[in-house]
Amino acid sequence: MNRHDTIRLAMLPTPFERLPRLASALGDNGRAPSIWIKRDDCTGFAGGGNKARKLEYLVADALKHGADMLVTMGAIQSNHARQTAAAAARQGLGCLLLLTDSVANRGEAYRTNGNWLLDGIFGAEIRLLAASEDGAATAEEAMAGLAAQGRRPYFIPVGGSNALGSLAYRDALLELAAQAKDEGCRIDRILLPTGSGGTHAGILAGVEQAGLPWRVHGISVSRSSEQARAIVSGLVQEIYGLEDRRRDAMSALEIDDSRVGPGYGQPTAEMIEAVQLVARTEGILLDPVYTGKAMAGLLSLVRTGAIGPDETVVFWHTGGAPGLFAYPEVFQR
């Protein structure tokens, strides 16, 4: 698999920047680690975010198989659904989004604004599923129904997180390695949100392939560390299998589930502080579901000394800022 097997959606490479004011806010007398950020919020497609990289592989595969429609799943405020709808529009394909109303106790904006609003602007057909519905069974029925109508649907899993989609983040890790070399930046650790697992798996596969000593630290946003490790480990194995490559070494699989809070998409005080701190020190917007909770994890690791002042940590920003508009009650004064 190589870049010729993709379509072009993202603006690459995305920026790799230092966050000196955030580091200063976290450490007295230079005692904070060196903090950098990989800006995949700047992929530039349909509001930015990490899914653009995955969709370059997945939509290319859909076109290769003669698809005329993309079908995917997610929560109401799914960033992946938003970018899938946009990718379908770019390629002249239909798009069906199966969105589950799975995040309880949210305000009116959650179901009218943010990614939900953008899905409609991109022209996607949306079917809303109750939290109790079997999403996998519904997707199977939808695919069969579309085929019976003479359509040629192509199914993309939640988050674009299968082996093919995850390959994009193997490429992205190699992109970061080249940028770090150009900057003379010695990386010790990458920290990122871990949800459907594909981004984490691809980065881990890239670290292993390049033989880098970097630790990859995931902050789970939706499930226990044990469940998340099983998903990520399985995807890494599938990436290697897809390319018929051997896996000679297994990198440590670090996933922290202490920032999930009440559940997926549910705000926490630590997330709110992290979003506001990064906005007010660096002018960068995180999101309330993924990167806000991941940054809360980074802040905690720095403050407790688990990330030492002699380390260099890269925060991988996976995007999602449109989701902020679905949580106005959380951030309003």
Nearest partner of 43 among 175, 189, 218, judged by Cα: 175
Tens of pLDDT along the chain (333 residues)?
Answer: 444 589 999 999 999 999 999 999 998 656 789 999 999 999 999 999 999 999 999 999 999 999 999 999 999 999 999 999 999 999 999 999 999 999 999 999 999 999 999 999 999 999 999 999 999 999 999 999 999 999 999 999 999 999 999 999 999 999 999 999 999 999 999 999 999 999 999 999 999 999 999 999 999 999 999 999 999 999 999 999 988 877 766 677 999 999 999 999 999 999 999 999 999 999 999 999 999 999 999 999 999 999 999 999 999 999 999 999 999 999 986
User: Same domain for 135 and 184?
Assistant: no
User: Same domain for 36 and 171?
Assistant: yes
pTM, 2 dp: 0.96
Q: What pLDDT does 329 receive?
A: 95
Nearest partner of 259 among 311, 210, 224, 306, judged by Cα: 224
Q: What pLDDT does 305 receive?
A: 94
Count structural domains, the chain. 2
Q: What pLDDT does 29 receive?
A: 59
CA distance 236 to 242: 10
Judge if the upstream peptide bond of residue 13 is cis by omega within 30 degrees of 0.
yes
The CATH number assigned to the domain holding 225 equals: 3.40.50.1100
Q: What pLDDT does 32 receive?
A: 86
CB 287 within 8 A of CB 296: no
User: Same domain for 250 and 323?
Assistant: yes
Q: What pLDDT does 2 receive?
A: 47
CB atoms within 10 A of CB 172: 25
Residue-range definition of the domain harbouring residue 111:
51-160
- Beta strands 153-156 and 34-39 are unpaired
Domain boundary among 101, 131, 160: 160
User: Same domain for 11 and 130?
Assistant: no
Query: Could you tell me which residues are beta bridge partners of residue 73?
Result: 98
- CB burial of 39-75 (b: ≥16 within 10 Å; e: otherwise) equals bbbbbebbbbbbbbbbbbbbbbbbeeeebbbbbbbbb
Residue 216 phi/psi, 5-degree rounding, is -115, 115
User: Same domain for 99 and 155?
Assistant: yes
Angle, vertex CA 220, rays to CA 82 and CA 214, nearest 5:
105
Say which of 34, 78, 196, 222 is annotated catalytic.
78
Ramachandran quadrant class, 279 (left: phi over 0; alpha: psi -120 to 50; beta: rest):
alpha
User: Same domain for 148 and 231?
Assistant: no
User: Same domain for 195 and 257?
Assistant: yes
CA distance 241 to 257: 28
CB 87 within 8 A of CB 59: yes
User: Same domain for 240 and 317?
Assistant: yes
Q: What pLDDT does 16 receive?
A: 98
User: Same domain for 155 and 177?
Assistant: no
Domain boundary among 111, 141, 160: 160
Q: Active-site residue 78, yes or no?
A: yes
Residue 100 burial (C-beta neighbours within 10 Å; 0-12, 13-18, 19+): buried
Nearest partner of 176 among 312, 301, 326, judged by Cα: 312
Domain boundary among 160, 188, 205: 160
User: Same domain for 76 and 205?
Assistant: no
User: Same domain for 177 and 194?
Assistant: yes
User: Same domain for 106 and 10?
Assistant: no
